Amino acid sequence: MHDLLEQFFQNARGRRQVAIEFLRFGLKVDQKAKIYVGNIELPPAKIARALGVDRRVVIETAKAITKDDKLFHIFYKLEPRAFIGNAAKELGFDVIELRADPKKKGIVAGVTKVLADNNIVIRQVISDDPDLFPDPVLTIIIDGKLNANIIKKLRELDFAESILIR
């Protein structure tokens, strides 16, 4: 996806950055080049202010997306998702943040196997796209608290560059 945006917006660095942020936040673009989070329309000026660009860059980015069939079909289908990781402690959940080479296979399977083998219920799994996030993290929110034995098993996973439990 990142390559597609690089190519499409090759002569418009500001628009490319805006399109990447639309993708990261799950902002939808409709046929009229209106921008939405879910079904809530967002004013281009507010988006521009948050991204540190002129509002016209936001408007022109949305218009450009509508003019390209492939990009339009991608951005029209985007949806935001709630990330509960930062509120996990208040909800009584633990958070596992794992950093590993995102090109390796079996990372999610390895971590979830350890959790499943220990009867841990997973509430949410978020895996950052390495093309959109420079330091991608696999975040797993679990129901309840991890004990020292399970933390030890997670730290023994050979693909894990770092594991943070919070």
Tell me, what's the pLDDT at 75?
98
pLDDT(3) > 90: no
Distance between CA 157 and CA 22 in Å, rounded? 34
DSSP state of 144: B
Q: Which domains does the chain have, with CATH numbers?
A: 2-75 (no CATH), 85-165 (3.30.70.260)
Tally of CA atoms within 13 A in the half-sphere of 76 that contains its CB: 15
Q: What is the pLDDT of residues 11-49, one digit of tens each?
A: 999 999 999 999 999 999 999 999 999 999 999 999 999
User: Which residues share a beta bridge with 151?
Assistant: none
Q: Please state whether beta strands 138-143 and 93-100 pair in parallel, antiparallel, or not at all (unpaired).
A: antiparallel
Q: 141 and 95 in contact (C-beta within 8 Å)?
A: yes
